Chain A
Amino acid sequence: MKIWAICLNTFRETVRDKVFILLVVFAIIMIIASRVFGFLSIGQEMKIVKDVGLGSISIFSLLVAIFVGTTLVHKEIDKRTIYTIVSKPIRRYQFIVGKYAGLNLTILVNVAMMSAFFYLSVKLMDGTWSFDLTMAILLIYIEVMVVTGFALLFSTFASPTLSAVFTFLIYLAGHLAKDLRFFGEQSMNIYLNVLSTGLYYILPNLTNFNTKNEAVHGFPIASTFYAYSIFYGLFYCAILVTVSSWIFKSKNLK
């Protein structure tokens, strides 16, 4: 109940803080994409709309994750709203889990509404909606959950600006994890090889959540890949929240 109270509160605050204004921007992009790109690429319009739709859902969710996520804990300390919460009978991990769940709930509603708009755009253009498109959106959401986890982790000890930079770097590195390992293996230097392999296992492999291309072009994806990616993402989130809670447990709230 305590975690749920903090989660609901975080959701309510972010919603009233006009986070959903991004939805309006998304809607405008979708309308422009379906009208303009349709003219420019005869016969390819549906693929373009799907591409722009999935890409926009991904970018806008990431924006919320990075910009709201990195201020999640820091803002509470900076604005001193945390004083009247942590002095109540709650454990510090409950606060962290509640904040994380609250932001994820906001992003979930955001993604759901963008997806509904995306679905309508596809249907209005007589396009087909596949199961893989739904799964691509689900994996985008799980990827954003992982990124939010990093934003939360950094916000427990760094300023919002630094946290945003760190989170963005992790996001980039997460998409280059496979390349990083590949280059390490190609290298003759044993240290570089060990380092790249180590980083490969520590950094999140965010390419596991990217099935946009396959979904747009209708390439088949194995159901085991979906299962693995979902499990991998949720496991990674659990680790990030645990580490964040552990750091926050002994934090002095000055």
Chain B
Amino acid sequence: MTSVIEIEGLRKTYRSGIRRKGIDALNGLDLSVAGNEIFGFLGPNGAGKTTTLKILVGLLFPSSGNARVLGKPLRDLSVLSRIGFLPESPHFYEYLTCKELLDFYCRLFRIQKAERSKRVDALLLDVGLENAADLQVRKLSQGMRQRLGIAQALINDPELIFLDEPMSGLDPVGRRKIRDMIHGLKSRGKTVFFSSHILQDAELLCDQVAIIRKGRLVTQGKLQDILAPKQASYEAVLTDIPDAAIESLSRVSESLDKRDDRLHLVISGRDNLLAAQRIVVDSNGAIDSLAKTRGSLEDTFIEFIEQGLEGGKAG
């Protein structure tokens, strides 16, 4: 599959003060994103996520390096008409109503009047703001603003959508709604590139992730490949286990704890799990509950960041 985003050796240095002292926000970033996937762009605060997004949508100019979006150079107007962008904690003209604001964005794409009205109504419905159509932006809640931000990012039915921290400031219900919308976009053949520091959301959404630190790529790959090397672990609660079997179970488990008539086990690795299951069946015991507690993206993320801190590993 061809890449929709290609970044090679991208650098961005912010200069400030009289001496024009430079701070490197991006330090030779390389990245490639394939089409029709949900791509999570992860990293700690100050890693360069927002800077990268701003360069890709034409708000910032890179100090050096190359980047191509949808096969074309940055700030190409034909590219800007095929992408959507939601900035972090988006701000809009406070005195315009949601409808007026979306109509304004439509005009920037030269969408004709009849089409504008249809598109604005449909988008307001999609993001659940149909009842706030005539409400001024300043009267919207944080969650409503975020959804209005998504609506403006989709105003041109873009092929590629950049979302900068789309879940920030949202309650669980709001986050769920945005997640559903992102899944919906993928099912319509779109590519979603989003930055986040909420790893749980990234884990639930992404086909592929990249982790960056200090403006460099630390790792990139499919979520299952990044998480695969980590040994999965399981938590089991067993009942009716005879004492003889407890001895056998202790050999295949990491920890074993007997509370009342229940046995709580932590088992590491699939082989040990299968062995434990056999012991339970053979001893006529029962499995009350079993849950996988494999290494999460958060564990992986922290591990990569810490590795980076120690050795400066770059991918």
Residues of A within 8 A of B (CB): 1-2, 4-5, 9, 12-13, 16-17, 79-91, 250, 252-254
Contacts and interface: CB of A to CB of B under 8 A. Distances in A.
Question: Residue among B89, B100, B107 with the most chain A CB within 10 A?
Answer: B107
Interface in B45-88: 54, 57-61, 77-78, 80-81, 83, 85, 87
Given A2-B107, A5-B107, A250-B61, A88 B95 contact: no
Given A2-B107, A88-B108, A253-B59, A83 B96 contact: no
Nearest to B25: A254
B152 A89 contact: no
Given A13-B96, A84-B87, A1 B61 contact: no
Nearest 9 CB-CB pairings of A with B: A16-B95, A5-B107, A89-B80, A89-B81, A87-B57, A83-B87, A253-B59, A88-B108, A87-B85
A88 B105 contact: yes
A1 B156 CA distance: 16
Contact of B85 (A9, A81, A84): A84
B166 to A, nearest CB: 14
6 contacts: A80-B89, A81-B91, A84-B90, A87-B83, A89-B78, A253-B59
- The size class of the interface chain B forms with chain A is 20 to 34
A200 to B, nearest CB: 32
B92 A87 contact: no
Interface of B: 14, 54, 57-61, 77-78, 80-81, 83, 85, 87, 89-93, 95-96, 100, 104-105, 107-110, 149, 152-153, 156
B110 A1 contact: yes
Question: Residue among A9, A12, A13, A89 with the most chain B CB within 10 A?
Answer: A89
A86 B77 contact: no
Contacts of B93: 9, 13, 81
A13 B81 CA distance: 25
Contact of B104 (A9, A80, A82): A9
Contact of B60 (A2, A4, A89, A254): A254
A1 B107 contact: yes
A254 B57 contact: no
B60 A84 contact: no
Question: Residue among A1, A16, A80, A83 with the most chain B CB within 10 A?
Answer: A83
Given A1-B107, A89-B80, A81 B58 contact: no
A83 B59 contact: yes
A83 B96 CA distance: 17
A253 B109 contact: no
Given A84-B87, A85-B108, A89-B80, A17 B96 contact: no
